[in-house]
Amino acid sequence: MPQIMSPSQPHQLWLITDNKPGHRNQLEGLANALADLKPLEHHWYDAGLSLTARFQSIVAMNKKAQIKKPDLIIAAGHKTHLLLLVGRFLFGGKSIVLMKPSLPLRLFDLALIPQHDGHFHQNNVISTLGAINKIKPCQTHDKTKGLFLIGGPSKHHGWNSRQMAEQIETIIDSAPDIRWKLTTSRRTPGDFLPLLKHLNNKLAIIPHTETGSDWLPDQLCESGFVWVSEDSVSMIYEALTSGASTGLLEVPILKNGRIQQGIQDLLTSKALYRVTDWLNKTNIPHSGLQLNEAHRCAELILKHFNYVE
């Protein structure tokens, strides 16, 4: 039977985090999307590295459950799985994991798994295009503003700081009327930014250590053109979600796999374009891709569990 929730009975949403920024970003994105659709109260619990932190979270859950039990318990990150399952076992609610879990899928009520992690036919799996994020589509993009989002080496990608700097300089020189900004990530090598010093009158550099939680969403909404280094898969999908025209800065590929195939699919569909397209003044058609996975998945979650007004 559907669960009838009146406006005076907000959903109780528990969010379990390992405190990694990317995982927390996914949780915040889905929580915000659910809040747009249904009244809810949300509470955060720490699945940190220490047993003490996890025990304290269980104690806090128990205290909260004495007042109201959870409707949904959502977690992101492999280290959150056990606390998610313990919370559901002890206090009820539906368990949702935002990734391909390291434990059997049947243990979870629902799993939101990016397409590049495989295709699953279980009825407790929702396939997503990239990882969920907290960016929302915008209608305020300014074609006189551009943004570079720079990552760094990873297990799938190598890195060449000089090659990356050359791509950026070439793009800037080809579009002198655009006001450009650039930010880095925790993975960006220390030898990269010094290579851009001579561009200081053409490029505003804001290291990731100087950006707040709202900086990137605001910049993505403002920027008409966004360039993302190919290793930064999450930022590629964030840029696409914002609706900005999104280009790909090339890096060496160490390992071909589903992630690279996902990027290639976006290039083939013209959702993304490469530097050569930009430089050749190729007509870069927009694919018409309207990406808002957080909102789409929030609707599917409510439907899956028959939560209705």
Whether 110 contacts 38, CB under 8 Å: no
Q: Tokens 């539906």 label which residue?
A: 94
- C-alpha to C-alpha distance for 7 and 303, rounded to whole angstroms: 17
Residue intervals in the chain for CATH 3.40.50.2300: 3-133+293-308
Strands laid side by side in the 142-149 sheet: 203-206, 179-183, 142-149, 223-229, 245-249, 273-274
By three-state DSSP, how is residue 287 classified? coil
> What is the pLDDT, as a whole number, of residue 155?
87
* Residue type for position 168: I
Long-range Cβ contact pairs of 110-113 (< 8 A, separation 24 or more):
110/301, 110/304, 110/305, 112/30, 112/297
Residue 223, strand partner residues: 142
The backbone region for 211, taken as left when phi is positive above 0, alpha when psi lies in -120 to 50, beta otherwise, is beta
Whether 273 contacts 284, CB under 8 Å: yes
Output the tens digit of pLDDT for each of the chain's 309 residues. 444 444 457 889 999 999 888 899 999 999 999 999 999 999 999 997 788 888 899 999 999 999 999 999 999 999 999 999 999 999 999 999 999 998 999 999 999 999 888 778 889 999 999 889 999 999 889 999 999 999 999 888 999 999 999 999 999 999 999 999 999 999 999 999 999 999 989 999 999 999 988 899 999 999 999 999 999 999 999 999 999 999 999 999 888 878 888 888 899 888 999 998 888 865 565 666 788 999 999 999 999 998 865
- C-alpha to C-alpha distance for 253 and 113, rounded to whole angstroms: 23
- C-alpha to C-alpha distance for 21 and 193, rounded to whole angstroms: 22
Q: Rg (Cα) of the chain, in Å, rounded?
A: 21
Distances (CA, A) of 190 to 8, 186, 273: 52, 10, 27
> What is the pLDDT, as a whole number, of residue 5?
45
Residue intervals in the chain for CATH 3.40.50.2000: 142-279
Distances (CA, A) of 34 to 138, 184, 296, 297, 302: 19, 30, 10, 9, 8
Strands 223-229 and 245-249: parallel
Whether 199 contacts 179, CB under 8 Å: no
Whether 141 contacts 241, CB under 8 Å: no
- Phi/psi of residue 79, nearest 5 degrees: -75, -5
Return the structure tokens found at 105: 């899928």
> What is the pLDDT, as a whole number, of residue 123?
92
**CATH class held by domain 3-133+293-308:** alpha beta
Whether 124 contacts 110, CB under 8 Å: yes
- C-alpha to C-alpha distance for 71 and 305, rounded to whole angstroms: 10
- C-alpha to C-alpha distance for 230 and 151, rounded to whole angstroms: 8
> What is the pLDDT, as a whole number, of residue 278?
85
pTM of the model: 0.89
In terms of CATH, what superfamily is 142-279? Answer: Glycogen Phosphorylase B; (3.40.50.2000)
Instruction: DSSP letter for 116, please.
Output: G
Instruction: DSSP letter for 230, please.
Output: T
By three-state DSSP, how is residue 209 classified? helix
